[in-house]
Structure 1
Amino acid sequence: MNWANFFYMGGYGFYVWGSYIATLILLGAEVLQLLRRRKSLREQDRR
């Protein structure tokens, strides 16, 4: 098995890797949103 076959995944590589990328982007967006929300709540607590 070589790397090209691994990434191609029998013709399903586009869907598999696309799903991984979409998941990572959404998880990253969730983390950023949570960090912003936490910062906002802490600022509200100080007032």
Structure 2
Amino acid sequence: MSFSSFADFLAMGHHGLYVWSAYGICLVVLVLNVAVPLLARKRYLEQEARRLRRENNQ
């Protein structure tokens, strides 16, 4: 499929809203699949460091 202009490319033959929202949702899911475990790991390590400091101070 070839497009005569960039605007036609974005419109995707009047299916642009569907196409670009699908790409957007996919991108959000991929980013979350990376970010959520990283944040959970960081939170876990912080909790363990606090627990170890608490145990060492007793």
In structure 1, stretches of 5+ residues that fail to align are none
* Larger Rg, first or second structure (1 or 2): 2
Number of equivalences: 47
In structure 2, stretches of 5+ residues that fail to align are 53-58
Query: Greater relative contact order: 1 or 2 (C-alpha under 8 angstroms, separation 6 or more)?
Result: 1
Share of identical aligned residues, percent? Answer: 36
TM-score w.r.t. the length of structure 1 is 0.74
**Superposed CA RMSD:** 1.6
TM-score w.r.t. the length of structure 2 is 0.63
User: If each structure's helix is expressed as a fraction of its own residues, which one has the higher value?
Assistant: 1
